[in-house]
Amino acid sequence: MKQLRQFAPLVVEELVENSFHAPLHHQNYYEIIYIVSGSGTHKINQNRFHYQSGDLFLISPEDEHHFEIAEQTHFIFIKFTDDYYPIYTGMNLSKEPIGIAPLLLMRHKLLKEVKLSFFPPFTTILKNVMDNIVTYWHFYENMRSALIYQQITTILCIISETLDRTHINLKKEQVPSNSVLYYLHEHIYEPDKLLIKNIATKFGIAPNYFSTWFKRTFDISYKEYINRYRYQLIRRRIDHEKQKLKQVANEFGFTDESHLSHFLKKQEEANRPRSI
């Protein structure tokens, strides 16, 4: 896989493209990518995100990514190396108002697994900050500008506050995973309580982040975990306790016996070993 290299501490680029200039690649620098206009798909690691005007993506050296452009896209790229932030260590500018070291934020796996959705007025502020950076860079290209540094820090502050408002803590996982599983097992007979919007609220996790959190924590999707656990319990009821399908369907919240039979067949097909 191609690797892009940059040796300058900071580079700002503005491009309008109909096809992305680089194939799927790694790089040796960090990158903040802002979508001024256009649409398409952003591929990062194993994830694919639809993008449009106002979207923002963070890339670090561990990532591989590429854009599939559907509509002509205006990009702003802010690219910096590991050497960029140490420049400011003696200027009292390197304090961390975002609550986490900037490069740790850039590397955080969560930010490669979900697409950020910004609240008003952050969308407007973010656009203005990007305009400020591009305008300054076009005139000076000063890699050691404190003004540019503060603008980049503002972008990271916007990301941090957006995460706070959606109850996502990057510094540590506050949700005890065992408690979540205990709750699932306890309420497996109550489908309404296992809806993502309800269980996410119960444990203080943003609903649009819960599925990602669950997959990262347990290495299995939320839906698949629930289905597998229900299947095991149901098979035990039928095979060992000799309960009738109608009784089991009522116990597990299925509409009728046919609904339950369909569920069992689907799970058995999904778990059947496949020949290679």
Strand, helix or coil at 1?
Answer: coil
- The span from the CA of 87 to the CA of 171, in Å, is 24
> Where is pLDDT greater, at 187 or 86?
187
> Model-level pTM?
0.65
- The span from the CA of 210 to the CA of 175, in Å, is 11
Helix-helix angle 207-218:177-186, to 10 degrees: 100
- The rounded Cα 80 to chain-centroid distance in angstroms is 22
Contact 195, 183 (CB under 8 A): no
The values of phi and psi at residue 204, to 5°, are: 70, 35
Helix-helix angle 222-239:177-186, to 10 degrees: 40
pLDDT tens digit string along 127-172?
999 999 999 999 998 988 999 999 999 999 999 888 877 766 665 4
pLDDT tens digit string along 67-76?
999 999 999 9
The values of phi and psi at residue 212, to 5°, are: -65, -45
Which pLDDT score is estimated for 91? 45
Q: Where do the domains of the chain lie, and which CATH numbers do they carry?
A: 2-165 (2.60.120.280), 177-271 (1.10.10.60)
pLDDT tens digit string along 75-95?
999 999 888 876 544 444 444
